[in-house]
Amino acid sequence: MFVIESVDKIKDEIIGESVQKHNFPKSTVFPFGDLYKEIVTKIKTLEISAECILYGSVESYNATKEFSDKDYWSQNTSDEEIKNYWIIGRTGQGDSWVMDINHKVFFYDHGLEEMSQENFVDFNINFEQWLQFAYLNKRLEVIYNEGNYNEEVGTKYKEKLKEISKELLENYPWADYDNLVIE
């Protein structure tokens, strides 16, 4: 029912036969991981699941550039701190997926207004685990849309979330599995 896909399989599925290449501007100094850079420079923005939309390099660059404006951040956040984050995607509701310079991925609820480390939800996942999470959600959406979601499915889904990261299961903002609605 639920399988945590290998990162290589996910990468192959996302990239496919793509030969397009959209590099980041040469002035970009963010220390991207190799996998992240390999994938996003070969794709346009991609909806993996409703909650995990991965920006291609162009859109991620533009989103990060926009959100590097200090007006989006809490008053006591320095320019140097802001440079430690990169916007890698969004959810269907407009929330953001943010990666730090250590390749850790955070969730940011745009309803909190100010961006800051305090407002980022830490799932204790890296980019590779985020991809696995996105594909797990993709599978859940298929099951739900086929009308096959039930308590057993919810339990198995939660078990797989915990395999990816205990914090992912505990801090996932849509964790009301008993009343799950996927749009």
State the pTM of this model: 0.92
Per-residue model confidence (pLDDT) at position 111:
86
Per-residue H/E/C for the chain? CCCCCCHHHHHHHHHCCCCCCCCCCCCCCCCCCHHHHHHHCCCCCEEEECCEEECCHHHHHHHHHHHCCHHHECCCCCHHHHCCEEEEEECCCCCEEEEECCCEEEEECHHHCCECHHHEEEEEEEHHHHHHHHHHHHHHHHHHHCCCCCHHHHHHHHHHHHHHCHHHHHHCCCCCHHHCCCC
Tens-level pLDDT at each residue, the chain (183 residues):
899 999 999 999 999 877 788 999 988 989 999 999 999 999 999 999 999 999 999 999 999 999 999 989 998 899 999 999 999 999 999 899 999 999 999 999 988 888 988 899 999 999 999 999 999 999 999 999 999 999 899 899 999 999 999 998 888 766 554 554 444
| pLDDT (0 to 100) of residue 18 | 78
Closest CA to 52 of 10, 17, 80: 10
Mind listing the domains of the chain with CATH numbers?
A: 1-183 (3.40.1580)
Tokens linked to 25: 């501007």
Q: Which of 102, 14, 111 is nearest to 55 (CA)?
A: 14
